[in-house]
Amino acid sequence: MKQFSYIIPFIIAALFACSSSRTPRAPKRDVPMAINIRMENSATINFINTNFFRFQLIQDLDQFQAVDFTLVGNDENPEVVVDVDITNFTLWPRDERLTRRRISRNVVVGTNSAGKPVYQTVTAIVDIVQIQRRSNARFDTRITVKGNPGLNFERVFAPSYNYVNTYVDNIQGDARAVDPLMLSRGISIEPNEDDFILLLARREMIRRLSSELRKYYDSKARSAG
């Protein structure tokens, strides 16, 4: 036991020596990026905030990268230029459907003389509301990275997104008959036009662009090391 007590200080000292000998991680290099957004052939083009989309896009692209992207203008010598042409953006009319249902559920109301639970069947009539809204668009994307070896990537994405929200309304009868999970869903905030564009872009486009940039800068970091 005494020998073990002598060993502990040496172990602690070795751990501190290892931690102090580690090379501090180098800060990420700031990389200026310009993002050009163009929209055509869209009935809702006048309602889209392209600045909002641009800032959200660079935040998403900046995730898990070996560098930090900084948004700049085209006249500020960007190292990376991302062009996104959004065409045929279609936001379909909102579809709301109501279904009236009679539901029953067994709930515990107490215990009997033996301590076992006593159940009661409760019933309610509820309105099940389902809201749907479909959307689709076409994203023609291009990435240009200056430098050696540089990067040129082009890809067309044609995603679709269907917003669905289902909730319970107008409960008549015993509210205990309604599953608590159904009640917890409630009425969510429906996405607007800006949200739909971002949701469509996140279906595949942003993941792919981020992957291409990550592969490029990871490769440069390895070659530099």
pLDDT digits (tens, 9 = 90+) for 112-121: 998 899 999 9
* Exposed e or buried b per residue across 90-111, where buried means at least 16 C-beta atoms within 10 angstroms of its C-beta: ebeeeeeeeeeeebeeeeeeee
The 10s digit of each residue's pLDDT in 89-111 is: 999 999 999 999 999 999 999 99
Higher pLDDT pick, 220 / 54: 54
pLDDT of 152 over the 60 cut: yes
With cut-offs at 50, 70 and 90, classify the pLDDT of residue 4. very low
With a cut of 60, say whether residue 5 has pLDDT above it: no
At 60-94, the pLDDT tens digits run 999 888 899 999 999 999 999 999 999 999 999 99
Q: How far apart are CA 211 and CA 192, in angstroms?
A: 28
Q: Which two tokens stand for residue 80?
A: 């990376």
Higher pLDDT, 38 or 23: 38
pLDDT tens per residue, range 25-36: 567 889 999 999
